[in-house]
Structure 1
Amino acid sequence: MRKTLLSILGLGAALGLAACAPDDVLVHFGSESSAITDGTPHSGHPSVGQHTAGGGLCTATLIGPRTVLTAAHCGAGSGNYFEVGGQRIAASQRIVHPQYSAYGNANDISILILSQAVTSVQPTPINIATPTVGQPITLVGYGVTSENGSDSGTKRIAKNSIATVRATTISFLGSGNGTGNTCYGDSGGPAFVTVNGVEVVAGVTSYGTPPCGVDGVDTRVDAYKDWIAQVSNNDALMGEPPKPADSTAPTVRIVSPTPGGKVATSLTLSVDARDDTGVARVEVAYGGAIAAVRDTAPYDFQLQLQPGQHRIDVRALDGAGNQGTASVTVTVDAGATPTPTPSPGTYGASCSVGDNCQSKMCAEDPDYLGQKYCTQACTVQTGCPNGGQCYRTADPSLHVCGKPPVGQGGGNNSGGGGGGSTPGTNPDAPRPLDGGLTCAMGSEIAAPPLASLLALALLLLLARRRRR
């Protein structure tokens, strides 16, 4: 590997690259055997594999479960195959860019549609941002390591940086001293860049000036993103990898009855269940069988139990099937007073969801140690009960009540404060409507323009509707 070229153009044997002509002739890097010069053997980047057709070798990248990105000058022979993750999969289609021209190497990009999806390897997304001069790149390919080399077939990696950016190509220069380049067999392979912490395919190895190591020219992938999306039927990943599978289980808490308590044969089981993507359903079981299921909050269950000791199990599931559990053991006494069904609360009553309130509105107030309490609509004229203050929401037609700011008769604040404090004593507290407070319905009441912290989070949870 005396040169720093990646033999990224692998399938070019049929193009007669060995002829190498004068020094100013641009030649495909991988007609028959191209490899990365001044690169090192590499076992990473599992989405990069070998593209073979009619005896020729190129490099290619899996960019979707059934979509492979390579160069248009690769794969002209019969029978296109892609080898990745220990599999050799036939291509059912080879789609060459309609404006590809072998003369001048214009639009040197093509897509292979595989006959079956690859499930053992995560595809790499393509770059959708404009590359920039000086941007570091990572070259990976199966080509040879020198102009007359015969060591293709080994995956190698090298580093370089973008020297020029043109409408449909990027280029990089030189090899040696830690810098690598492309060579025969690297054709079709990737030039990776990192965008927002995500590695994406920014270039497809196309050609270079002989001998290998002088320079490399790649087709700019972002310039063809719409075409790639179209011909892959949106199978190709764009810009960032798919979000990781949800693996966070819901949290479950049994609010009542309390563990070890005595209850009547008729009782209400109240459950608080939450999940970052939303609770799909909550199940209640005892005696080895599911007794009740709810798919919306509030999770209150009316149960009938026989006298004796019972263990009640609660399971909450999200859409991905993750589950959280909780249990409580109670003693059922036929003579105990039945647990009353809780009535919706009025302004200021504790709540967990909107259905706990007569108004169907439950507010979470960070100024009161994150307490949740029932709120209600208000106007400047009518005001609010118990010294509360009226706040705007994102809906100009709706205002809601909030408890007085800390230092004005409520809450806890190490800065002190009895009822005689003036508005603004606590700079992080909510301010009254006439003080310019704005709030967002269903999410958070934001602090006034001069405050930097959130003041009050208002959660509008209508009946039979859960927040996701």
Structure 2
Amino acid sequence: MRRPALLAALTGTAVAAVLAAAAPASAINSYNARPAPERTEVGALIVQWDKDGNPATPDDVDWHCTGTMIDRNTFLTAGHCTTDWSPGARFYVSLAQDVQGELDAAHAAGLSPEQVAAAVAVEGIEHTSPDYPGNSADAHDIAVVEFSDTQAAALAKRWPFTPATLPTAGQLDALGSRGLDAATWQVTGYGTEEAARGPGGQTHPGGGVRLKAEVGFNALNKTWVRLAMNESRGYGGACYGDSGGPNFVTVDGALVLAATTITGDGPCYATNVSYRLDTPSARGFLDAYVDLP
């Protein structure tokens, strides 16, 4: 769920100093979750956008969603993460473990929005499914951020990673409900924690640090896989800011990026509803950007 809501002026040494000052923060829903420093292919979508009606002076930059590198120059995320922004919005990706800490340090250094974005991430071009938004049967809630060769090289130099493995056509159907229920599932993302009750009502604290949690198989639909997040069963789960992020299933000992987080229950306690990547519609979109298995 999306959270409601090139650096010419700095030398490489200055950028490094800013990021070294980053402080840790909390993230994702807190029960049964662990840090995921090894999931270097999972990153945060950062958006630089205008909110005062003057596109010439973009005045906000922040992380908003999660996503995954699926080849050397393609970052997969959700369609609702890349739409409904003001004209001129620019999209960046960071594969850092603590994105919020790096953003905080860059803001504290007094950098402009453009400088902040370039200090913490690499810019790319977004491509959202032309069929988004769809309907309940197929939301087409899928998008990518594409990087040029130069941008891709900069990304890999800064954060070495191995791209995630996409599923083959119909792989989840082939495994069947029994096989999917027996398999190990893992959600990864930068999202906020589950709802906390306070004097002002429910809030969702934290966010901005890459964590992982085991989830359980619930149900398989035509374009959706529903995953259980129940704390009592030893599971964790996704929350706001985890949209577009990966839901991995272990098949023959290997992690397969089966689906991307899209939505779930409001308090983030029960269900993660994820968009399947083995369907004709998802593969039809991705085929323009990556070599599909």
Count matched residues: 208
What is the distance in 1 between the residues matched to 2:176 and 2:38? 25
1:156 aligned partner: 211
Go from structure 1 to structure 2 and tell me whether the alpha carbon gap of 1:210 and 1:85 turns closer, same or farther (over 3 Å shift): closer
What is the distance in 2 between the residues matched to 1:154 and 1:114? 23
Gaps of 5+ in 2: 6-25, 50-61, 98-119, 196-202
1:198 aligned partner: 254
Pairing 1:35–2:91 present: no
Aligned Cα root-mean-square deviation (Å): 2.4
2:41–2:162 contact (8 Å) kept in structure 1: yes
Pairing 1:127–2:167 present: yes
Pairing 1:89–2:122 present: yes
Among 144, 153, 157, the alignment partner of 2:192 is 144
Deviation at 1:35, TM superposition (A): 2.4
1:52–1:75 contact (8 Å) kept in structure 2: no
Greater shift in the superposed pair: 94-103 or 107-116: 94-103
Deviation at 1:198, TM superposition (A): 1.9
Gaps of 5+ in 1: 1-8, 15-32, 240-468
2:230 aligned partner: 175
Residue correspondence of structure 1 range 57-456 to structure 2 within 5 A: 57-76=64-83, 77=85, 78-84=89-95, 88-92=121-125, 94-101=126-133, 104=136, 106-115=139-148, 116-117=151-152, 118-119=155-156, 120-128=160-168, 129-130=171-172, 132-133=176-177, 134=181, 135-147=183-195, 148-177=203-232, 178-223=234-279, 224=281, 226-234=283-291, 238-239=292-293
Percent identity between the aligned chains? Answer: 26
* Corresponding residue SS for 1:226: helix
1:111–1:228 contact (8 Å) kept in structure 2: no
Go from structure 1 to structure 2 and tell me whether the alpha carbon gap of 1:47 and 1:136 turns closer, same or farther (over 3 Å shift): same
* Corresponding residue SS for 2:67: strand
Go from structure 1 to structure 2 and tell me whether the alpha carbon gap of 1:230 and 1:56 turns closer, same or farther (over 3 Å shift): same
What is the distance in 2 between the residues matched to 1:102 and 1:12? 21
Runs of 4+ aligned structure 1 residues displaced above 6 Å come to: none
Deviation at 1:164, TM superposition (A): 0.5
Deviation at 1:111, TM superposition (A): 1.3
Deviation at 1:158, TM superposition (A): 0.5
* Corresponding residue SS for 1:231: coil
Q: Which TM-score applies when normalising by structure 2?
A: 0.65
Which has the larger Rg? 1
